[in-house]
Structure 1
Amino acid sequence: MKPVLRIAAGLTVLVLVVLAALAAYLSLFFDANDYRERLSALVAERTGRQLTLSGELKLSVFPWLGFELGAAELGNAKGFSDRPFAALTAAEARVKLLPLLRQEVAIDRVVLKGLQLSLERRADGTTNWADLTGAPKDERPDRAGPGEGAGQAPAGLVVGGVDIQDAVVRWDDAVNDTRHALSDVDLTIGAVVPGQPFDIDLGASFSTNAPAMQGRFSMRGSATVDMAEKRYSLLGLRGALKANGEGVPGGAVDAALMADVAADLAQGTLSIKGLSLKAYELSLTGALEGTGLPEAMVLKGPVALDGFNPREVLARLKIEAPRTANPERLKRAALKGMLTLTPTRIALDDLAASLDDSKLTGRVEVADLSRRALRFELSLDALDADSYLPPAAANGAAPAPSAAGASKAPSAAAPGPAEGLRELDAVGRFQVGTLKLNGLQLSAIDVGLKAAGGRLDVTTKGALYGGGLDSRVRVDARPKTPQLDMSGGVRDVQIGPLLRDLTAKPERLSGRAQLAFDLTGAGLDAPSLKRTLSGTTTLTVLDGALKGVNIAQLLREAQARLTGKAADSASGPSQTDFSDLKATLRHGGGLVRNDDLLMRSPLLRVGGAGAADLVRETIDYRIDAAVVGTLTGQGGKSLDKLHGVTVPVLVSGSFAEPKYALDVEALLAQAAKGAVKEQVETVREKAKDRLKEELKKGLGGLLR
């Protein structure tokens, strides 16, 4: 054993003597500056580029193998800009020689001053560094296999520090017509020792034309690198970003980031604690734990978007906040939940969000990021949707759209709703405790949605004024013109309170309503649906009353005028009671036709027939009211003189301004059959105006 030790010691001494002698020789007789021209010529021969060394060269061998370089410049490749490919004002780097024999790397502080790097790509895809990469990849020798030692990482790496000052990096891409630049780059890294923390401080200005923006970012913290154990950390991370330009949302941003980051690649774990990101009056906080790094990464942890004012955020983004009927809306919001991130999905569980007085809970997930497959289960406690709608105009009507907005047609190139539905992949459920919409009060709303392969299916259930709502809407967007299918209806709805809330006026109709519809159409816009809607809608109102008009009293007055007697004074409420009202609406060809309107009461029968043109928004309808008995009707007096006489009312005009007219000729023709011909001419003018006004006032409410 002793002879072996003596030989090893002797070889070590011999190596040291040789290195010392080499170092002495180089320091006394070797001057690297004597080889400037030869080095430049070699670079030109190998690359075709000009290397200019205008600064002094210094070499050292022992105990440090290193160099110091003054100003230097490497020319650009042919066919590119006149800027040098790379240039610097000074550089310095040294590595200890003896540790290299033990496969250990001990680097002294690395210094780069005034570095300038110009990266370019021409329109044909050629880059200005392609000639520096050597042989094509498929011609390079294979890497050494396992156990052969080639390419193995050093046993240890120690760096005394890195100091980069005033660096500039440019990237000009003619393929995409983009230009990016980093300037005033300053990077300072403390001594890097495996497993020991070191400080890092980075700052740089940037500019880009796509998107157009410029600004400066900075980052600092305490890092730890242990490549042998595959452990890395960056604690006390503090980042800042200030940018402005057309490409920045809102034109300017001032953001700050804080976090403690640690990764153990041997265990495949990642930890992000104390996360805080602030920008645009928003503050996001959280903590994430990761597993399965790097191939099957899963990040999970709580995140929260602290309370903020949405109007202030929109103002910072230079987005005009929508005008709301309640100006105090859109002023309070917050969000928190359990975030899960993987390379293929993102989910937010235990969601708890709020907007003003409404609270939302549940979960949202993009189950497949490549397909944007949305899954959700959400519940909203209460929402006053009317308070978020635009305020009404001074006359109480909704504000009309501007002329520019009304006349502007959608762009032919802009994607329509059909394209969006064809790409939509969503399955979910949305529940609302109470909802106010257009004055209507709904509760226990349950909406189910399923969209896939160009098909959309939406089911809606809920409670509505003592009754229930149940509907289903299907859209097939696969054809060029989407197909629409709607079915369902309402049951046992108290129509009086519903109309009162909907119109904000005393109701003109009361009773229990049943509505059922089964409709189909083509297209998703209103004009297309008006033209193509087909199917049937049935309406039934039981135990109701037509308020504001007493048809029985009107008929008594008509009877009195026909007989030349004074009418009895009205008694009882100003309404017409009925046991049931039924109607079937048939849709097709842009029209809605009804031929079977029937309202029955112990005294009266009211029928109707006609049509409405949905495209032109016009009405052509006739209502017939008749006394069906001689019994004493509503209000007390007999109507035997009008028994069998039908009072016809013609409805015409537009949806916005319907017109009502009494068909006096038909009325008098029937009256003449009752042996009152001698009074026809007298009654004609008197009855015409009186009955027309009264029936217009009463029946108008029903038709509306």
Structure 2
Amino acid sequence: MKAFGKILGLVILGLLLIIVALGFALTHLFDPNDYKDEIRQLARDKAHVELTLNGDIGWSLFPWLGLELHEASIATLKNPKVPFADLQMLGLSVRVLPLLRREVQMSDVRVEGLNLTLERDEHGHGNWEDIGKPLPAGETSVVAGAAPADATPAATEKPATVERPVKLDIDSLTVNNARVQYTDARNGQTLTAESIQLSTGAVHEGVNIPLKMTAFFSVGTPVVKARTELNGELRFDRALKRYQFEDMKLSGEASGEPLQGKTMTFAAQGQLLVDMAANVAEWNGLKVSANQLRALGELNVRDLDKEPKLTGGLSIAQLDLRKFLDSVGVVLPPMADATTLGKFELVSRLDGSNNRLALEDLAIKLDDSAFTGRLAVEDFAKQALRVQLKADKFDADRYLPAKSEAAKGTTAARQAEVQQKEAGAVAGPGTSPLPDAPTQTAWSNDKLLPVDRLRALDVQADLNFGVLTLEKLPIHDATLKASGLDGLVTLETLSGGLYAGQFETKGTLDVRPAVPLIALNTKVTRVPVEHFIKSQTDTPPVKGLLTLNSNLTANGNSQKALVDTLNGTASFVINDGVLVNANLEQQLCQGIATLNRKSLSGEPRGKDTPFQELKGSLVLRNGVASNPDLRARIPGLALKGNGDIDLRVLGMDYRVGVTIEGDKREMPDPACQVNERFAGLEFPLRCRGPLEMGAKACRIDKDGVGKLAGQALGNRINEKLEEKLGDKVSPELKDALKGLFKR
């Protein structure tokens, strides 16, 4: 038995020596470079690719099947002269005996100088889609001397059988100086990854594989360049179709045209999982940073085999949004308040697909405001935006465009003009000359609307505010509903409470024509009018509760253009009002003193004039509002007038008549005594000048005083007739005689 064992051992040793000797003989006596043509033909017939071997082939046989390829390239059979991949060197070694058990045991695998070119043509077909495909029947390769790619008739092919998967066992994989370029002829876009360095630990199925990769990426249009580094542990199970990337960390820097010369430092990390059997993908423990921005969250994608559905969550920590946007090259338009966007944070639940993304259960903090609701892009291709938000408070004035220097100069010039004219009016009340009509430009020529963006707008917005500040007006429980599609923006409603009153505005903005068209319908109910017409000195000319109805249209894209083309109608009523800094009593006394041919000696008792009601209607034509029926009721007085308000220069020109009604008491000043002959007389006033001056621009109309004197003389003669005639004549004759002196 011992002898048999010894003999068996010698036989096995002899066989091993023979195998080693055969391997030595093969590797030294057999040169694969002599069979390049056969190897290329084998690649065409079995792998259906065009293999070009420009360099030498080095190899070893046992116990490792070693192979080194130099200067090799691969092309598709359809386009064999244009390789989609080439490399400088590929080196690998495979154990021979495990191959018999369908196990691939490799030592280190090295790839040097890999260059991969991927192209998609005008029809959307990619060159990589032809890899491994035989030529259609009847076609042959264009390479000289090449045999048909698949010479075996289809009828003789054996049916495919399910085979046990190959087991991989690789000590390491190293890729040096690789390059991948992708070009899409449909949009002219080019994406390139260069200087790719990839290294892994031992590659075994079902265990974590350490991986590290660095690369430089660039995009052609617009030009973007990025340096990236990727680290983590890769794990895969082909039987379960499950792939994991644990402790993934991606970092780098980016620059380019969109960043306007700025550099963005970015990083991302988390746990990635793709389960093809369950058709789900997950990114858990997501952490993302970009310059000052820090975000946490998780992403889940299901139905990978159909239309993918995205769910998850996202949280952005508080940051200075203005500084962040500046750091990534976003140039914000100048705002009225340069400190806006200083605080921003966001928390939301994500819901989306390959064509839409919604931020559900959204909570945003922006400066001093807090928003909740929903924000969604329902169609990426159409940029269909849907907004449903509620806010505790929001000061819109802070975010409006800042005035240009030209507009500021216009405002300053107009303010100086108003102050000068107001000073003149105060210096000599009742006697100073009437101010000339204003000529300063009151409105800005700055562009108001981003017309191109509005024409492409597809939006539906539903906003609610606890307090919305707009044009310094605090609107309580404000509601804003608007929509925009194909260049037509519709304001369904902007309404709310305003200083214990109510208002509502509806309208449209049509940017489809070359010149935008605006139509507005406004209703205001018992809102303090002084908050609408504050002057440059913050002293309103009129106070009271305003009720207004207006229907207006205009066209243009600046304040000046809109005012110059303003047309429509309006009606207004002001109740429980006050004419500020306008002592009509003094003005009337001055007129009465003129009629009495006396001079006033007393000082006026007050500087304001209260009134019960002020109402009228307006017809607007190209920026000029005509008011033919101004009426006001003041205790003891009645006021009526007509005139124009030129909104183009914020000027007015009115003729006003003030009638004394039933107040026959003596005035403190003897020169201002009212007797019966002045009862019913209409005292003429002329109001012309800047609108901000209000009643301070009004003076006695000297042209009308003469007529008033004649009327007063007629009243005096009528009194004498009454005394003389008594009951001696009939009432009809008496009235006729009185009428002669009233004309």
The two structures have a TM-score, normalised by structure 1, of: 0.77
How far off is 1:467 after superposition? Answer: 0.7
What is the CA-CA distance between 1:446 and the residue it aligns to?
1.3
For residues 362 and 124 of structure 1, the distance between their equivalents in structure 2, rounded to whole angstroms, comes to: 42
Aligned partners of 1:295, 1:549: CA distance in 2, in Å?
A: 77
- Return the alpha-carbon distance in structure 1 between the equivalents of residues 446 and 164 of structure 2: 65
Q: Which amino acid aligns with 2:713?
A: A
Check if 1:336 corresponds to 2:347. yes
User: Residue 530 and residue 33 in structure 1: after superposition, are their counterparts in 2 closer, same or farther (change >3 A)?
Assistant: same
C-alpha distance in structure 2 between counterparts of 1:73 and 1:434, whole Å: 71
Cα distance in 2, alignment partners of residues 634 and 496 from structure 1: 31
Deviations 1:276-300 (A, max 9, x none): 1111211111122333224232232
What SS class does the counterpart of residue 299 from structure 1 fall into?
Answer: strand
Give distance in 1, aligned partners of 2:354 and 2:123. 33
Alpha carbons 1:439, 1:504 under 8 Å: kept: no
Q: Could you say what secondary structure the match of 1:674 adopts?
A: helix
Cα offsets for 1:205-241 (capped at 9, x unmatched): 2445433343421101011111210111101111112
Aligned match of 1:669:
707
Tell me what 1:686 maps to.
Answer: none
Q: For residue 263 of structure 1, report the CA deviation from its aligned partner.
A: 2.0
1:225 to 236, 242, 250: 236
Deviations 1:176-231 (A, max 9, x none): 77765433211112333222111111111244543334342110101111121011
Determine if contact 2:259/2:330 at 8 Å carries over to the other structure. no
Q: Which amino acid aligns with 1:646?
A: E
Contact 2:683 2:708 in 1 (8 A): no
Change (3 A) 1:41 1:258: closer
Number of matched residues? 645
Task: Indicate yes or no: 2:502 matched with 1:468.
Answer: yes
1: CA distance between counterparts of 2:290 and 2:512? 42
Which of residues 556, 571, 576 in structure 2 aligns to 1:543?
576
Say if 2:196 is the partner of 1:195. no
Partners of 1:631 and 1:639 within 8 A in 2: yes
Q: What code does the residue aligned with 1:244 have?
A: S
* Counterpart Cα distance in 2 of 1:293 and 1:130: 21
Say whether residues 1:251 and 2:262 are aligned partners: yes
Partners of 1:438 and 1:635 in 2: how far apart? 44
Letter in 1 for 2:711: K
Confirm or deny that 1:574 pairs with 2:585: no
- 2:59 corresponding residue in structure 1: 58
**CA displacement at 1:88 relative to structure 2:** 3.9
The equivalent position to 1:519 in structure 2, one of 549, 552, 576, is 552
Unaligned residue ranges in structure 1 (runs of 5+): 1-15, 411-415, 678-704
The 3 A distance-change label for structure 1 pair 616 and 494 is closer
Aligned counterpart for 2:674 among listed residues 639, 649, 661: 639
Distance in 1 (CA, whole Å) between partners of 2:556 and 2:407 is: 32
Q: What secondary structure sits across from 1:558 in the alignment?
A: helix
AA partner of residue 469 (structure 1): F
1:27 and 2:27 correspond: yes
> In 2, Cα distance between the equivalents of 1:644 and 1:72?
114
Q: Percent identity?
A: 28
**1:442 partner amino acid:** I
Instruction: Indicate how the Cα distance of structure 1 residues 340 and 307 shifts in structure 2: closer, same or farther if over 3 A, else same.
Output: same
C-alpha change, 1:195 and 1:350, in structure 2 (3 Å) is same
The two structures have a TM-score, normalised by structure 2, of 0.73
Give the drift of 1:629. Answer: 3.9
Q: In the alignment, residue 674 of structure 2 is paired with which amino acid? A: L
**Structure 1 residues 592-632: Cα deviation after superposition (integer angstroms, max 9, x where no partner):** 22111111123222222233455677654433333344533
- Paired with 1:498 and 1:108, the residues of 2 have a C-alpha distance of 83
Matches within 5 A, 1:131-210: 148-149=159-160, 154=165, 156-170=167-181, 181-210=192-221
Deviations 1:93-130 (A, max 9, x none): 34455666666555554211233456789999999999
Residue 373 (str. 1) matches residue 409 (str. 2): no
What is the Cα deviation at residue 470 of structure 1?
Answer: 1.6
Asked if structure 1 preserves the Cα contact closer than 8 Å seen for 2:540 and 2:692, the reply is: no
**Alpha-carbon distance in 1 for matches of 2:403, 2:556:** 30
Other structure's SS at 2:288 match = strand
Matches within 5 A, 1:298-309: 298-309=309-320
Residue by residue over 1:509-562, the C-alpha shift from the partner in whole angstroms, topping out at 9 and shown as x without a partner, is 222211111234456655664465443211101121212112122211221233
Match for 2:463 among 421, 426, 430?
430
1:374 Cα deviation from its structure 2 partner? 2.3
Amino acid at match of 1:602: P
Supply the distance in 2 between the matched residues of 1:300 and 1:132 (Cα, whole angstroms): 35
CA distance in 2, matches of 1:630, 1:248: 76
Q: Partner of 2:428 in structure 1?
A: none
Structure 1 residue 457: Cα displacement? 3.4
1:90 is matched with which residue?
89
Q: Secondary structure at the match of 2:322?
A: helix
Matches within 5 A, 1:274-673: 274-318=285-329, 328-388=339-399, 420-452=453-485, 454=488, 456-475=490-509, 484-496=518-530, 505-521=538-554, 526=559, 529-530=562-563, 533-567=566-600, 569-570=602-603, 572-613=605-646, 619-632=652-665, 638-640=673-675, 642-652=678-688, 662-673=700-711
Letter of the 2:682 counterpart: T
- Cα 1:398–1:363 change in 2 (3 A) is farther
Out of 622-631 and 548-557, give the one that drifted further: 622-631
Residues 1:465 and 1:18: Cα distance change in structure 2 (over 3 Å): farther
Shift of 1:507: 3.4
- Following superposition, the deviation at residue 468 of structure 1 comes to 0.9
What corresponds to 2:738 in structure 1? none
Amino acid in the other structure paired with 2:490: L
Retained in 2: the 8 A contact 1:608–1:621? yes
Task: State how far apart, in whole Å, the 1-side matches of 2:557 and 2:92 are.
Answer: 69
**Per the alignment, in what secondary structure is the counterpart of residue 675 of structure 1?**
helix
Match of 1:264 among 264, 268, 275: 275
Cα distance change on mapping 1:663 and 1:519 into 2, 3 Å:
same
Shift in Å at residue 350 of structure 1?
Answer: 2.0
Greater shift, 422-431 or 174-183, is seen at: 174-183
Secondary structure of 2:203's match? coil
Q: How does 1:70-109 map to 2 (within 5 A)?
A: 71-72=70-71, 74=73, 88-95=87-94, 105-109=104-108
CA distance in 1 between counterparts of 2:575 and 2:447 reads: 45
Counterparts in 2 of 1:127 and 1:331: CA distance versus 1, 3 Å:
closer
When residues 301 and 356 of structure 1 are mapped into structure 2, their CA distance, relative to the original with a 3 A threshold, is same
SS in 2 for 1:552: helix
Matched AA of 1:639? V
**Other structure's SS at 2:592 match:** helix
Give the distance between the partners of 2:43 and 2:160, measured in 1 at CA: 31
- What does 1:688-699 correspond to in 2, within 5 Å? none
Instruction: Select between 429-438 and 543-552 the one with higher mean Cα deviation.
Output: 429-438
Change (3 A) 1:388 1:366: closer
Deviations 1:240-293 (A, max 9, x none): 122334343552121111111112221222221121111121111112233322
| C-alpha spacing 1:634/1:22, structure 2 compared with 1 (3 Å) | farther
Going from structure 1 to structure 2, the CA distance change for 1:468 and 1:380 (only over 3 Å counts) comes to same
Q: Rate the CA distance shift 1:335–1:192 in 2: closer, same or farther, 3 A.
A: same
| CA 1:361–1:538: 2 relative to 1, 3 Å | same
SS at match of 1:561: helix
How far apart, in 2, do the equivalents of 1:427 and 1:153 lie?
A: 56
Q: Which amino acid aligns with 1:451?
A: G
Structure 2 residues without counterparts, runs of 5 or longer = 1-15, 140-148, 413-443, 716-743
Letter in 2 for 1:541: I
- After superposing the two structures, state which structure 1 stretch, 481-490 or 662-671, moved more: 481-490
